[in-house]
Amino acid sequence: MPTFSYQAYDASGKSVKGRKEGLSVKEIRETLLAEGLYARRVQTVAQSRRKKSFSVQSRSMFFRELGALLKAGLPLDRALEILSEHPELGAGHDVLPLIRDLLKEGQDLSVSLQQHLPGIREDEVAVLAAGEAAGRLPEVSVELADFLEDESKMQDQLKTALVYPAVIILLSVVVLGLLVGFLLPVYEKLLTGLGQDLPALTKGVLFFGRACRHPIGIILFMVLAVGLGLGIRKWIRDPQSILPMKRFKLPIIGFTFSSLARARFARTISLLMDGGVALPEAIQVAGRATGSLWLSLCCNEMSSEISQGKRVVDAVSDLPILQEDLPGWIRAGEASGDLSGMLKHASESHQRAWSRSLVRLLALVEPILIISVGLLILIVALAILLPMLKMNQSLGR
């Protein structure tokens, strides 16, 4: 039975909001009227859900509480009903009743979340699908919550580390704007009146200042800045972005991407094997869980090769991103008879490596930004000082 959200007024004129299950809008209005409420607006939760993205913190909270409720023995639909009343879940607060209704119609949780929960990533969907297939959805939900919580902490550290550089950059832009936009033009008129030829650096800075002050220049600068920002954001966050393989080979940050992909790959296979899923099928799902379209396609080919009789360790050794040390973990697992346990240890090891590399990146961000701002200020300062030095030299002759 579908769920409807409503806004109504009681006999005193007080606004009342809530949700009810029913067959139609008409039935909900009649039920509210029987309760002494005049319905102002009634709509399905599919129509009323928010478009705001479901943040990493909210998803972590959702998965953790979902796992706790399922471990307590509650059925999945009842757990979602309880979570839908949780006001701190933000965007999911309005979507969860719809997902509960879809579950009653026979749709899988991972599919419903992927279709209707804003902000959820492909790797999270893949891990949930693995948990459903393995019959370990409570445990998988908690593990996914732990992973997202670590990621959220890293994001908070990144934001905190960028506050000071952002303030410095903002003040520097204001100062540079005043220098280039107002001081240098006056300085140019003074030197031109004295018959002094300006150095090339000063001419370049002045040309840039005039371009930035022109309306067309302002528009072009804003378009380029917004486009660059959106492009970088998409490249980092979208697993199907341009050059999906090259990002794993980039200096400094390539190791971070690789460690995260290996951690997700090993963790997903371990979960599926514990649930009795066949290894070729588990590798396909693990490829999706890496968050990389290129790796997902490679894992599909790897799954076909393993189905045809190729050894797992040999197939993994042929894939550049996974061949670093995962074959060693797989050999140890096959020798000990506990491949799932060894892959779980490999996942934890790579997750720690991912965390350490992020910490190192955070330590590099602040000095790089400050050095960049210092270089810009140095260029403007040289543009001002060089004409003065040239004029002093000409007067000394």
pLDDT at 339: 86
State whether 106 and 180 are in the same domain: no
- Report if residue 203 sits inside a domain: yes
Contact assessment for residue 9 and residue 3, using Cβ atoms and an 8 Å cutoff: no
Q: How far apart, in whole angstroms, are the C-alpha atoms of residue 130 and residue 109?
A: 11
pLDDT at 242: 47
- Which one, of 224, 219, 183, lies nearest residue 202 by Cα? 183
State whether 94 and 198 are in the same domain: no
How many C-beta neighbours within 10 Å does residue 309 have?
Answer: 6
- pLDDT per residue, tens digit, the chain (397 aa), is 566 666 777 777 677 776 666 667 777 777 777 777 767 677 665 544 445 567 788 888 889 999 999 999 998 888 888 887 776 665 555 677 778 878 877 888 888 888 878 778 776 887 788 788 778 888 888 888 887 887 777 677 667 766 777 787 777 777 777 777 777 777 767 766 666 677 788 778 777 777 766 778 678 777 877 776 676 566 555 444 445 566 677 777 778 888 888 888 888 888 777 767 778 888 888 887 787 778 888 888 888 988 888 888 888 888 878 877 888 888 888 888 888 889 888 888 888 888 788 778 777 777 887 788 788 888 878 877 887 777 777 665 5
State whether 102 and 180 are in the same domain: no
- Report if residue 128 sits inside a domain: no
DSSP E strands in the chain: the ranges are: 3-9, 15-21, 38-44
State whether 115 and 161 are in the same domain: no
- Which one, of 164, 111, 127, lies nearest residue 272 by Cα? 127
pLDDT at 210: 74
Q: Residue 338 phi/psi, 5° resolution?
A: -130, 65
CA 198 to chain centre: 48
In three state form, how does the secondary structure of 270-291 look? Answer: HHHHHCCCCHHHHHHHHHHHCC
**Structural domain for 61, as ranges:** 56-120
pLDDT at 353: 87
Six-digit token pair at 82? 């309880």
pLDDT at 52: 57
State whether 64 and 89 are in the same domain: yes
- Report if residue 354 sits inside a domain: yes
State whether 220 and 268 are in the same domain: yes
pTM higher than 0.95, yes or no? no
- Report if residue 77 sits inside a domain: yes
- Report if residue 134 sits inside a domain: no
CA dihedral 32, 34, 36, 40 (to 10 degrees): 30
What contacts 126, CB < 8 A, 6 or more positions away? 110, 268, 285, 286, 288, 289
State whether 26 and 154 are in the same domain: no
Distances (CA, A) of 208 to 196, 205, 218, 356: 20, 5, 11, 41
What contacts 171, CB < 8 A, 6 or more positions away? none
- Report if residue 132 sits inside a domain: no
Facing residues of 4 across strands? Answer: 20, 44
State whether 61 and 162 are in the same domain: no
CATH number, domain of 164, equals: 1.20.81.30
- Report if residue 371 sits inside a domain: yes
State whether 199 and 272 are in the same domain: yes
DSSP-derived secondary structure letter, 89: G
pLDDT at 397: 56
What contacts 121, CB < 8 A, 6 or more positions away? 291
- Report if residue 237 sits inside a domain: yes
- As a whole number of Å, the CA-based R_g of the chain is 29
CA angle 379, 228, 359 (to 5 degrees): 80
Number of domains the chain contains: 3
Six-digit token pair at 169? 């950059």
State whether 177 and 40 are in the same domain: no
pLDDT at 41: 73
State whether 95 and 173 are in the same domain: no
- Which one, of 126, 118, 157, 117, lies nearest residue 144 by Cα? 126
Distances (CA, A) of 376 to 167, 179, 288, 381: 16, 12, 43, 9
State whether 159 and 84 are in the same domain: no
Facing residues of 15 across strands? Answer: 9
pLDDT at 249: 74
Distances (CA, A) of 268 to 9, 44, 134, 285, 298: 50, 35, 11, 7, 16
pLDDT at 31: 79
